[in-house]
Amino acid sequence: MPAFHLVDAFTAAYFSGNRAGVVLLEHGPIPAGFAQAVAAEVGASETAFLHPEDDGWRLRWWTPTTEVDLCGHATLAAAHVLTGEGAAPGAHRLRFHTRSGLLTATRDDDDRLWLELPSWPVADHRAPDRLPALLGGVSGRYLGRTTVAQANDVVEVADVAALDAVDPDLPAVAALGSGGLIVTSPGERTDAAMRYFAPALGVDEDPVTGSAACTVGPLWASRLGRSELVIEQRSARGGQLWTRVAADGVEVGGHAVTTIRGELLAAPT
C-alpha cells in the first residue's frame, strides 16, 4: 500500500506552518480520481503525490477540490520525506518533474530545504471594484495579476497591522477569475509579510504558501534592493520563508517536520 506522511512545512515546530500530505507511490501514472479523493480525505491545503521517474521523481499536487500547477510547501514536504524518511537518504539534490517544469530541492548545513522555483512577476491588470470591501474594510493598493496559468491577484497594504486586519469577502475573492489573492506588506520582524487566500481552489486561507513567494520575493527584493530576504506568512499557524531572488527564478527555503506517518489502505486504481 502507498506510504503516507503528514508534514508541517515552512516551520521547525510541530503543529505550525502549513500541513501537506505526501503520498509515495511505487510507480506511475498517478490516477487523478484517486489522488483527488485522497486529497479531499486528507483535507490539507495540498497533498503531494510522487513516484520515481527517470533521473528523479514525478510530482503532482491536489487541493481538496482540484489539481494545481505549483505548490511550494507540498514540494518542501515531499523533499523532507524523501531525504529524511529513507526513500532518498543522503540525497544532495532532488529532481522533480512537474506541470511547472523541472523543480529541484537541496538541503543545507542548517537542515533547511531549498527549492528552485520559477519567478511569477506581477503585470498590470484591471483593479477589482470596491477593493476595501474585498479586504473587509482595509485599504490597499492593487498591484496587478501574475502572468501564469495559475494566476494570483496581488494587493499591498500599509503594514502588518493592516495585513492582520484583512478579513476578505471570500465569495468575491473566488469571483476574481484568478487562482487566489496575495496580500502583502512590509515586514515587522522580517523583510516582508504576506497572507494568501484561494477559495476558488478550495483553500479559504493558506497557512504558508511557497508559490506566493515566487511573486512576493521578487517584488520586495526589487523594493529593498537586495536578492536575499525573509518573508513571514501571518496566518493563524504562521511560518517563515527564506528567499534568494535571481534573474531566472526564486530559491525558497524552509524547514519541515513530520507529524504523522503510515500507509493508505485504499490502493490506486
Give the model confidence (pLDDT) of 152-196 as tens digits: 999 999 999 999 999 999 999 999 999 999 999 999 999 999 999
What's the CA gap between 63 and 58, in Å, rounded? Answer: 17
Cell of 47: 497533498
Q: Are residues 7 and 83 in the same domain?
A: yes
Average pLDDT over residues 60-73: 97
What are 97-128's pLDDT values in tens digits? 999 999 999 998 888 999 999 999 999 999 99
Residue type, 251: E
Rounded to a whole number, what is the distance in angstroms from the first to the last CA of the chain? Answer: 12
Average pLDDT over residues 225-245: 97
- Residue of 30, 82, 19, 103 whose CA lies nearest to 60: 30
Q: Are residues 101 and 128 in the same domain?
A: no
> Which sequence positions are flagged as catalytic?
46
Q: Name the average pLDDT for the chain.
A: 95
pLDDT at 85: 72
pLDDT at 215: 98
Q: Please indicate, yes or no, if residue 74 is contained in any of the structural domains.
A: yes
Average pLDDT over residues 69-84: 95
Indicate which CATH number applies to the domain containing 22: 3.10.310.10
With b meaning 16 or more CB within 10 Å and e meaning fewer, what string describes 108-146?
A: eeeeebbbbbbbbebeebeebeeeeebbeebebebbbbb
* 249 contacts 11 by C-beta, under 8 angstroms: no
pLDDT at 90: 59
What are 15-36's pLDDT values in tens digits? 999 999 999 999 999 999 999 9
What's the CA gap between 172 and 123, in Å, rounded? Answer: 21
Q: Please indicate, yes or no, if residue 115 is contained in any of the structural domains.
A: no
Q: Please indicate, yes or no, if residue 133 is contained in any of the structural domains.
A: yes
Whether the upstream peptide bond of residue 29 has omega within 30° of 0, thus cis, is yes
Q: Please indicate, yes or no, if residue 269 is contained in any of the structural domains.
A: no
Q: Are residues 146 and 95 in the same domain?
A: no
| Residue-range definition of the domain harbouring residue 212 | 122-247
What are 190-234's pLDDT values in tens digits? 999 999 999 999 999 999 999 999 999 999 999 999 999 999 999
Distances (CA, A) of 115 to 35, 97, 118, 137, 252: 23, 13, 10, 36, 5
